[in-house]
Chains A and B, each alone.
Chain A
Amino acid sequence: SQQGEEDPQALSIQEGENATMNCSYKTSINNLQWYRQNSGRGLVHLILIRSNEREKHSGRLRVTLDTSKKSSSLLITASRAADTASYFCATDEGNNRKLIWGLGTSLAVNP
């Protein structure tokens, strides 16, 4: 079953705008990860946030985690056309290293 659920399913913005994607999950976690996928092939790790962290930054990416609401958000600032991709969140299941994946948010950044 899918633990992570992203919303929106699809997002279309203009270059230079910010993009926000959300992820909700159901059980307790050790960490939550965000990945990016271009053209339906291999995924690339973007950022990992641990359960005891509330916010993390990496370049133009900002991730927040609210364990009380079991949700996370990924913010991409000053978006570029090259940011066009699908973005997935993934959570572990406590002691189980098997990650559970959401269905992803498809982001289109228009030049």
Chain B
Amino acid sequence: GAGVSQSPSNKVTEKGKDVELRCDPISGHTALYWYRQSLGQGLEFLIYFQGNSAPDKSGLPSDRFSAERTGGSVSTLTIQRTQQEDSAVYLCASSSGQGVNEKLFFGSGTQLSVL
């Protein structure tokens, strides 16, 4: 696709339910990032995928959070047993993965609201 696509754009769920957020990166981009942004805050790193390497999961806040990247393309971020503090915008970004001096391309994010 022309850009990074995220779905859904908005998700309202009840506390305790599981949610899945999807990210479709730019075709050919080997690096994929998930970030979380709470209202008025900066970006909090969650997880990073690079090619076939083991993902960097150091930012996942708890074991309720997990992410997969199938076939080196589409990624799914899953939050189990959602809590109200999980409410935030979840942003996905991809990059070419070719070097350290590269820019990220972001999707429009998923606004998650946990009631």
A and B pair up:
yes
Give A contacts to B, CB under 8 Å: 2, 4, 30-31, 33, 35, 40-45, 48, 50, 88, 90, 92, 95, 97-104
- In the complex, which range does the number of interface residues on chain B fall in? 20 to 34
Are A42 and B107 in contact, CB atoms less than 8 angstroms apart? Answer: yes
B91 in contact (CB, < 8 A) = yes
**Contact of B108 (CB < 8 Å), options: A30, A35, A42, A102:** A42
Are B100 and A92 in contact, CB atoms less than 8 angstroms apart? Answer: yes
Give B contacts to A, CB under 8 Å: 4, 31, 33, 35, 37, 39, 41-43, 45, 48, 50, 56, 59, 89, 91, 93, 100-101, 103-109
Distance of A6 from chain B, by nearest CB (Å): 9
- Chain A residue contacts of B93, Cβ below 8 A: 43
Closest to B92 in A: A42
Secondary structure at the A interface, as helix, strand, loop or mixed, is strand
* 5 extra interface residue pairs, beta carbon distance < 8 Å, beyond A31-B100, A48-B101, A101-B42: A35-B104, A43-B43, A98-B59, A100-B45, A101-B43
Q: A30-B100, A30-B101, A98-B48 are in contact. Are A104 and B42 (CB under 8 A)?
A: yes
Instruction: Name which of A40, A44, A104 has the most chain B CB atoms within 10 A of its CB.
Output: A40
What is the CA–CA distance of A2 and B45 in the complex, to the nearest angstrom? Answer: 10
